[in-house]
Structure 1
Amino acid sequence: MPLKLYAHPFSSYCQKVLIALYENALPFEWRVVDNAGAMAELAALWPLKRFPVLVDEGRPVVEASIIIEHLQLYHPSPVRLIPEDAREALEVRTLDRFFDNYVSTPQQRLVSNQLRPEADRDPYGVTEARTQLEMAYGWLDGWMANREWAAGQNFSLADCAAAPFLFYADWSHPIDARFANVRAYRQRLLARPSFARAVDEARPYRPLFPLGAPDRD
């Protein structure tokens, strides 16, 4: 039974999983959640109705990071995204949490605020989110000073997270030129074939970006 992925190509968390699948050329059936029928199937698997959800041998697996861990455990492949060494793996997981919590979360606050009726928008929350992103960019710039990938020389789960989250973060709150290492890292991620494929698949949906998609990338 092939893997089935309930996802949407424009979702950053779905792209995170797609990168992992594409890195190892793992075959899967893609169930794009863009209609009522697909959403009903998703809700039956995961009542919280959040994607991505992977179905493997009838078992639903939820949350992007856990899906990638699941793939490595049950579908071992040449590109190992979580190191075998426990200490190295801990660093990868720590960076994965950094990108989820301190890049993606404030970026999504900016998008969510834009989707609200104007009377219900939260200027204070927007300022907080932008401040959080500035702090994250600053820390990451120092971290990436002598690194190719987030956890060192090898592409990992951390980079699967970094790619879509920095991609959309720069659209939402541009990465200033003073964060040259972050900007260079983002460009390396965009050049990675697995992420480049995910970006291309999402191009038709760019008009849906609530803050307005820039004419680049």
Structure 2
Amino acid sequence: MRPAGRSNNQVRPVTLTRTPRSNYTKHAEGSVLVEFGDTKVLCTASIEEGVPRFLKGQGQGWITAEYGMLPRSTHTRNAREAAKGKQGGRTMEIQRLIARALRAAVDLKALGEFTITLDCDVLQADGGTRTASITGACVALADALQKLVENGKLKTNPMKGMVAAVSVGIVNGEAVCDLEYVEVHQFAITTELCRRDRHERSDDRRRAYH
């Protein structure tokens, strides 16, 4: 029996909190609080004019991502990575995954020379933080891009489609989706699936545990 009696193909309740005009936070161009059950992630999208040096003069934009967990988002306190002086390998992997998934949803040429940074901060972790981050960051990104259109900086919205993600794993020999924390320690293989609303897979990552 899975937590909360869920069937193997049943996801937890998903909630996205924001309004198109005020977002979830005051200052970011796009922001949303995403909840996958008890997992809660604050996702913001920030717009800057200009692009990284390797893209200058190419007439296209860039989307990057940063990911972090609050010290007490987990059962026991974890020190901030900033206090350690460097990011862990897991953090860097997740940041790259989020950025790749969301770049696949945007026409970077149509974006022009703007850089959008997606910040995903885990407030509470109960499994699926990276898939929740991708899903929430997509909504924050869509709102930020729409503001560029409304402010006259872009003629059309470069968003090609929305992206959502869910985890899939093997627990006790059975395939299940949207794993909670208590299930994460039981799986043999897990995959994060990211899909555009046009039914195109934008990215997936597989990890094997022995």
The alignment's TM-score, normalised by the length of structure 2, stands at 0.29
Larger strand fraction of residues: 2
Larger helix fraction of residues: 1
The alignment's TM-score, normalised by the length of structure 1, stands at 0.29
